[in-house]
């Protein structure tokens, strides 16, 4: 029953972290490149200083130049035919691998064939932890997932690289994942946006099944408390909201609702809705419906409506009463006098609820009055999409769109809306609607 909410939430989570965790690294999976995962999977983990980048002359066009042709004047990638750029690290300590390398130099294939000047300042001017392995093509060392395979002092809590080093040493010194391992994760979540703090939260959310058998009731409470203390918009909040649902503590439902109702961002609503389902789907729907009349502003109302649309109460699963109450709540908002932002969220919810014929009359009225009711093109388009989603599909796959004739006639009579109508008729649940945040949903 959580399929849609889970898909939306995880897709958003992946985009948020991949976009923000490093401005340079490309095409990596955040949950596969945490400090914890890199420590386990890298052949060599060392602390060292990036000393220089050398150009190695080749007699044939190298594979690295082919993959990393110069882009953005060499600032993003800088591959050059018949050259292989190699970075050289002065090794100060080895955390994993051959300790004999201390004091020597280790060569690796330069990240995206960058010259030294194109590396981040913190990598050029100070020590960093490097996670490296030999690649199968030629046995040369490469850094895992570009910059994600490094941690600098600037990325470490308090600017102290040794915080990360000590964590890695402790991880390597322990075997099975146990209560102590979970405590180390929780202790590392300092809510300061540092690499280890974010990565530890990612571990508890994305790799929850690995840690769940070892998590105690006290640790669940710590996860809940950390989630409550996390700052809106922070990467830790994104991960901890998910972890609160995966490792639910007593009172997790109240904590998640409180976070969600005081943080109207779409990502928080999406992730918290998913976690509410994991904690207690039925109770979450009831609480959201009961909370709506008590909401003091439109931001709170938007969050409730958005969450109900994401959770999508179903008559056959959640009961007719909850389904009807949800449809009626949204129906009451489908009028031109509703504030624009709240109306947009109601239109998205109407689409996502698979409202069948429950909202057909109200949606038609919004569209028919578009010349005089003050709605913008965004609201009219959203109403068309929601109306097209009012349909049933039988076991044989036959579609009955309740407003099909109306929509076809609308498209034929109004060339401006014709493309919207056609798209909505074909893809009602994936045609994007502009929400209150100005983004497509």
Chain center to CA of 14: 4
pLDDT above 70: residue 264? yes
| Residue 231 DSSP symbol | P
Of residues 14 and 362, the one with the higher pLDDT is: 362
Q: What are phi and psi of 163, to 5 degrees?
A: -60, -45
Residues 240-266 have a mean pLDDT of 97
pLDDT above 50: residue 53? yes
- Inter-helix orientation angle 252-261/266-291, to 10°: 110
The model's pLDDT over 372-396, given as tens digits with 9 standing for 90+, comes to 999 999 999 999 999 999 999 888 8
Can you give the pLDDT at residue 347? 97
Can you give the pLDDT at residue 24? 54
pLDDT above 90: residue 62? no
Q: Look up the CATH architecture of domain 33-168.
A: Beta Barrel (2.40)
Residues 282-293 have a mean pLDDT of 97
pLDDT above 90: residue 27? no
Beta bridge partners of 392: 400
Residues 134-151 have a mean pLDDT of 95
Can you give the pLDDT at residue 3? 46
Can you give the pLDDT at residue 397? 86
Q: What is the DSSP string of 384-405?
A: HHHHHT-EEE-TT--EEETTHH
Beta bridge partners of 96: 45
Q: Which two tokens stand for residue 60?
A: 């044939």
pTM of the model: 0.89
pLDDT above 60: residue 108? yes
pLDDT above 70: residue 315? yes
Query: Over the Cα atoms of the chain, what is R_g?
Result: 26
pLDDT bucket at 100, cuts 50 / 70 / 90: confident
Q: Which two tokens stand for residue 79?
A: 């591959």
The model's pLDDT over 149-159, given as tens digits with 9 standing for 90+, comes to 999 999 999 99
Residue 21: CA atoms inside 13 Å, Cβ hemisphere, count?
Answer: 34
Average pLDDT, the chain: 92
- Inter-helix orientation angle 3-20/195-206, to 10°: 160
Query: Nearest-CA neighbor of 22 among 111, 96, 93?
Result: 111
**109: helix, strand or coil:** strand
Chain center to CA of 147: 19
Residues 77/184, Cβ–Cβ less than 8 Å = no
Residues 46/93, Cβ–Cβ less than 8 Å = yes
Whole-angstrom distance, CA of residue 194 vs CA of residue 35: 11
Q: Which two tokens stand for residue 78?
A: 């800088």
């Amino acid at each position: 029953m959580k399929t849609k909410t889970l898909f939306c939430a995880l897709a958003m989570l992946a985009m948020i972290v991949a976009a923000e965790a490093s401005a340079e690294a490309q095409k990596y999976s955040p949950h596969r490149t945490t400090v914890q995962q890199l420590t386990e999977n890298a052949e060599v983990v060392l602390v060292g200083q990036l000393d220089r980048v050398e150009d190695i002359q080749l007699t044939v066009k190298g594979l690295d130049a082919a993959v990393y042709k110069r882009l953005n004047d060499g600032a993003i990638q800088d591959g050059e035919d018949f050259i292989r750029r190699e970075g050289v690290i002065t090794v100060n300590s080895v955390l994993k691998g051959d300790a004999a390398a201390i004091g020597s130099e280790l060569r690796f294939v330069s990240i995206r064939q960058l010259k030294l000047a194109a590396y981040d300042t913190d990598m050029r001017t100070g020590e960093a932890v490097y996670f490296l392995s030999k690649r199968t093509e030629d046995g040369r060392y490469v850094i895992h997932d570009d910059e994600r395979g490094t941690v600098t002092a600037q990325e470490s809590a308090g600017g102290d690289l040794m915080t990360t080093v000590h964590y890695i040493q402790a991880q390597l010194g322990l075997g099975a994942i146990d209560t102590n391992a979970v405590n180390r994760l929780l202790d590392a979540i300092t809510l300061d946006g540092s690499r280890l703090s974010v990565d530890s939260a990612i571990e508890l959310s994305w790799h929850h099944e690995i840690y769940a058998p070892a998590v105690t009731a006290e640790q669940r409470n710590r996860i809940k408390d950390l989630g409550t203390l996390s700052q809106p918009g922070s990467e830790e909040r994104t991960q901890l909201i998910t972890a609160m649902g995966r490792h639910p503590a007593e009172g997790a439902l109240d904590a998640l609702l409180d976070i969600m109702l005081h943080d109207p961002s779409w990502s928080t609503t999406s992730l918290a809705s998913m976690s509410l389902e994991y904690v207690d789907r039925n109770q979450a729907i009831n609480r959201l419906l009961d909370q709506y009349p008590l909401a003091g502003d439109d931001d709170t109302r938007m969050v409730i409506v958005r969450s109900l649309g994401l959770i999508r109460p179903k008559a056959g699963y959640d009961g007719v009463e909850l389904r009807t109450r949800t449809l009626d709540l949204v129906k009451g908002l489908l009028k031109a006098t509703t504030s624009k932002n709240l109306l947009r969220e109601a239109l998205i919810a109407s689409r996502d609820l698979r409202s069948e014929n429950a909202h057909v009359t109200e949606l038609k009225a919004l569209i028919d009055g578009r010349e005089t009711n003050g709605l913008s093109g965004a609201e009219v388009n959203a109403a068309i999409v929601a109306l097209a989603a009012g349909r049933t599909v039988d076991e044989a796959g036959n579609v009955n769109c309740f407003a099909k004739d109306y929509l076809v006639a609308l498209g034929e009579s109004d060339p401006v809306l014709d493309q919207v109508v056609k798209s909505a008729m074909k893809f009602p649940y994936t045609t994007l609607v502009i929400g209150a945040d100005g983004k497509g949903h």
